[in-house]
Amino acid sequence: MCACSGVAQQTKFITFSGKGECRVCGAKYTARGMAPHMKKHMAKAFGDPDRFIIRIDQGPQGPFWMYVQVSTEATFGVLDRFLRAVWMECCGHLSEFTVGGKSAGKRKRLSAVLSGGAGFAYQYDMGDTTALRLTVMGRSARLIDLGGLVRNDAYFPPPMVVGEGKVRIVALHEKVRYNCEKCGKAASYVCPQCIYDGTGACCEVCAPSHGCGDDMLLAAAQSPRVGTCGFEGGSLG
């Protein structure tokens, strides 16, 4: 069963709904279902189409995904800083965008390289690489000012502003729950070794008795980089 079915995914290690929330109106969809939904907002948006709406995910299966609105005149460097802040940064590794098989320099403007429907790729850390897939949904006028309309629920952070407000999250996956390997309660830590076998989530109580030692445990982060290198979480948790 895959995440696109929208049925809650449950393994011993992780539980996630497969859905996420639109920050413009609060509607809930799967990552895939969010695409036509965003297109409706984009069609209704009024003004200059000076933004790209971009879906960012790990491929079709992963629990972590978002849609962002970014100025078409922003550079790849701005997008890089955003991704580092929300999902990636552990210790200042190199990163790279690839468009059509070619590396896109950080000083290049998105509008010089991207167009609607284009897919591109991002890699952070050329050793323990975390790879992301980015898909341009199209150009859009600015979607409704998010500040006033976003529901202030537990997970959504305030609108993410990076590079003079050039990047904003307009849809985000629901929070992923890690299940403690021993007691099944919500885990705060993951083991960077055991995670490769789909185990090793630990709650506060059970962490000290984890077989690999509790000094190597990392934060059970809301990010595709969870359990990698020294990653302790980004601005989304």
Q: Which of 9, 15, 25, 135 binds Zn ion (CB under 5 A)?
A: 25
DSSP notation for 80-112: HHHHIIIII-SS---EEEEETTEEE-TTSBHHH
Q: Site size for Zn ion, by CB under 5 A?
A: 18
Mark residues 55-94: x for contact with Zn ion by CB under 5 A, - for none: -----------------------------------xx---
Distance of CA 101 to the CA centre of its chain: 22
Q: Which two tokens stand for residue 55?
A: 């879906």
192 touches Zn ion by CB under 5 A: no
Quick one: residue 164, left, alpha or beta (phi over 0 = left, psi -120 to 50 = alpha)? left
Among 65, 25, 83, residue whose Cα is nearest residue 173: 65
Q: Which two tokens stand for residue 38?
A: 């965003």
**Least distance from C-beta 219 to Zn ion, angstroms?**
13
200 touches Zn ion by CB under 5 A: yes
**Least distance from C-beta 90 to Zn ion, angstroms?**
3
Find the binding residues for Zn ion in span 171-190 (CB under 5 A): 180, 182-183
Binding site residues, Zn ion, CB under 5 A: 22, 24-25, 27, 90-91, 180, 182-183, 191, 193-194, 200, 203, 206, 212, 229-230
